[in-house]
Chains A and B, each alone.
Chain A
């Protein structure tokens, strides 16, 4: 399974990458929404995208809207991983097509449990 980690912080990408590899994902990275769309073009498809909200060039919310406007990535599960913790923001992201949501700071266990909730691992 493939996961795309989209965050402008290299440290966060590293932490998430380590956790995801640990549960069997092949990991790809992008530093913002634009890069993420390019990366998706290159690799064709991903099973999971972990998306930060606030990033330069294209933010995570716009990335979600963009991938959800096209049919090709319809089955990709999208999880926001962000400091944006207002309920209205969460609802906005879920309505735009995000499937799950993690608020920073998070623990490794939380990431694994949420991926279980998404049905990607047993």
Chain B
């Protein structure tokens, strides 16, 4: 059931306006394969039938489902390891000194998907920084998709996901079995505050951040959106706070007030003033 050019154009625009995700020409196959399960689930006879209904109704869960279906939620624990090493070896030791008077750290995982990224941070802090146990550590984790946030809040992972990037020693220490799934222990879940947030929409008020991870999400956006998001990150990030991007992402040529700083095998960005 190939999609008509008109429907594709409508979907592409609707998705862009509500998530900034760019679904350009040539991605028809992607839209078709991601929407096919929804067509059946919502009992439409075809994608065309579905699109007709979307067009006829104001923005609703029906539209939201389409957008969520177009997000790519691929992630793993300690993904690309180097940023986590950098936080462990460079960032936190420095902040333990510089924040000694307030004893508070705000960390933001923007686009956290099903939670592996913020939980990796929480586990790392528990495991390696006992001196932070009496600090106020706020890990705020946001994503556009309610579907992935529901998984994240439960912190339950299938074997296929739990195998990804998580050292066995941490797995047995910080997880509990729930049937065949693995659930992050309550003490770690309690360290992370999951919230729904659209990076391309109006930003809710966020505390001033000590560390921001905005990894593997800018790649889905166009230059203008990336630039806008980086500008807003600059406003929530403290002057000495590092921003970590995905390994294929950069601020270069987008926002040159960010300067690249090398930390071990990772690169971070700091807003120069």
A interface, CB within 8 angstroms of B: 85-87, 90-91, 94, 98-107, 109-110, 113-114, 116-117
Q: Does B90 reach chain A (CB closer than 8 Å)?
A: no
On whether the beta carbons of A103 and B162 are closer than 8 Å, the reply is yes
Contacts A85-B180, A116-B81 given; does A103 touch B167 at CB 8 Å? no
A-B interface pairs (CB < 8 A), number: 47
Interface residue count on the B side (C-beta < 8 Å)? 17
Q: Is B177 in the interface zone, CB < 8 Å from A?
A: yes
Closest 3 CB pairs of A and B: A110-B163, A101-B168, A103-B159
B246-269 CB contacts (< 8 Å) to partner A:
none
B163–A107 touching, CB < 8 Å: yes
A90-B172, A100-B168, A101-B168 known; A109 and B76 CB under 8 Å?
Answer: yes
Measuring CB to CB, which residues of chain B are less than 8 angstroms from any residue of chain A?
A: 76, 81, 159-160, 162-165, 167-169, 171-172, 175-177, 180
Contact of A105 (CB < 8 Å), options: B76, B159, B171, B175? B159
- Chain B residues contacting A101 (CB-CB under 8 Å) are 168, 171
Task: Flag if B81 contacts A85 (CB, 8 Å).
Answer: no
Known A109-B76, A113-B76, A116-B81: A90·B168 in contact at CB below 8 Å: yes
Residues of A within 8 A of B163 (CB): 102-103, 106-107, 110, 114
Return chain B residues, CB-CB under 8 Å to A86. 177
> Which residues of B sit under 8 angstroms from A98, Cβ to Cβ?
168
Would you give 28 A-B contacts (Cβ < 8 Å), ordered by A?
Answer: A85-B159, A86-B177, A87-B172, A87-B175, A87-B176, A87-B177, A90-B168, A90-B171, A90-B172, A94-B168, A94-B169, A94-B172, A100-B168, A101-B168, A103-B159, A104-B159, A105-B159, A105-B160, A106-B159, A106-B160, A106-B163, A107-B160, A109-B76, A110-B165, A113-B76, A113-B165, A114-B163, A116-B81
B160 and A113 contact, CB distance less than 8 A? no
User: Measured between C-beta atoms, what is the minimum distance from A51 to chain B in Å?
Assistant: 13
